[in-house]
Amino acid sequence: MRLATPTDAGAAPEAGAAPEAGAAPARELWFVGPGLVEVRHGAPPREPGAGEVVARALASGVSQGTELLLYRGEGPTPFDPSLDAEGAPTYPRRYGYAWVGEVVARGEGAAPALGDRVFALAPHGDLHLLGPGAARVLPRAIPGERAVLAANLETAITCVWDAGIGLGDAVVVLGGGVVGLLVAALARRAGAEVRLVEPSERRRHAGLALGAAAAIRPEDDRPRGDADVVIAATGDPSEIDRAIAHAGREATVTVASFYGARTSPVALGSAFHRRRLRLRASQVSTIPPERAPRWDHARRFALVCALLEDAALDALLDPPVPLDAAPSVYAALAAEPGARLQTVFQYGSRSATR
């Protein structure tokens, strides 16, 4: 297989050719056990078949909430039911789902062209063989580093839909990680007034920059029981009680976080029961049923691409770090998770900002 360069765009790949002579082995990030990640070298992918493409990485984003569950050993078993068979071990494994690359080889009938920039729900690593439909083409105007936000934008869009946020609603977002901040930005875009509760000063500033009317520390938070919608995005199940305290009568509390194996008691007494509150989970894999007759995943991703054209989202991106620094990056994230926003791995010397 000959891996094309950007100047090869539109040329046909050489079927059955061997990998380039002297090409460096493809790097792969592996979660080996709790507190341990490794960057390993693997074999290049095989020649793409019908409908398949090979893409070379430009950037990939760390989904801090889910990946830290895996890094800390706090995930459920199986860790990801969409990938794992019942009883499958958690480690070792590759993981990640915010990967941006450039098509360098394509099989017969593949939709992306050579040189196309694509997004994939794929693990961190240099190269991926992507099956039909797995490589979603990105507009060239969207910088590669910003494009890693696509996965969390899909999550945030779905959360806003699940929560039923509307014009004029009073919305409280608990947690200013990337998903919480994107929900705050989209809720404001939908005409809501947003209050953000977040311990990190940096994240509070980001929330204000993205349109939140107020951003306060948890210790200064005084729930008034008047919110139309509350979004629980802290990653901490013990915060559900705070979410309930914010909710007004007949309001909805929507849980955006994935808690893994962590649990916490939740008070479902007077505040929850007498105010007739709704507690709803939001999960990105499924289009909400009230929208499913008109929306599919392709239409939702088209909305993601339109939103990614907004350069204001660059405020969520930390300076990129090389993939080889991954062990120290995860250790730093685990030690002080609120210190960073969107961590981005950069690959080689190829710019993801162009």
Domain boundaries, given as residue ranges, for the chain: 6-149+317-346, 151-281
What average pLDDT score do residues 197-208 get? 96
Residue 250: CB atoms within 10 A of its CB come to 10
3-13 pLDDT per residue, tens = 443 333 333 33
CATH number of 151-281: 3.40.50.720
Mean pLDDT of the chain: 90
Backbone angles phi, psi at 118, to 5 degrees: -135, 155
> Is the pLDDT confidence value at 18 over 50?
no
- Lowest mean pLDDT: which of 83-97, 176-190, 218-232? 83-97
Alpha-helical runs (H) found in 127-255 = 144-147, 150-163, 178-189, 201-209, 240-246
Residue 194: pLDDT over 80 = yes
Percent share of the chain, pLDDT over 90: 81
| Band (31; pLDDT cuts 50, 70, 90) | very high
pLDDT, residue 24, reads 62
pLDDT tier for residue 349 given thresholds of 50, 70 and 90 = low
Question: Is pLDDT above 50 for 310?
Answer: yes
Please provide the CATH number assigned to the domain covering 6-149+317-346: 3.90.180.10
Residue 126 has which token pair? 């240099």
- Overall average pLDDT of the 83-106 stretch: 91
175 against 7, higher pLDDT = 175
Q: What angle in degrees, to the nearest 10, is found between the helix axes of 150-163 and 297-308?
A: 110
Same fold, 6-149+317-346 and 151-281: no
Q: How confident is the model at residue 94 (pLDDT cuts 50, 70, 90)?
A: very high
pTM: 0.89
Alpha-carbon gap, residue 152 to 64, rounded angstroms: 11
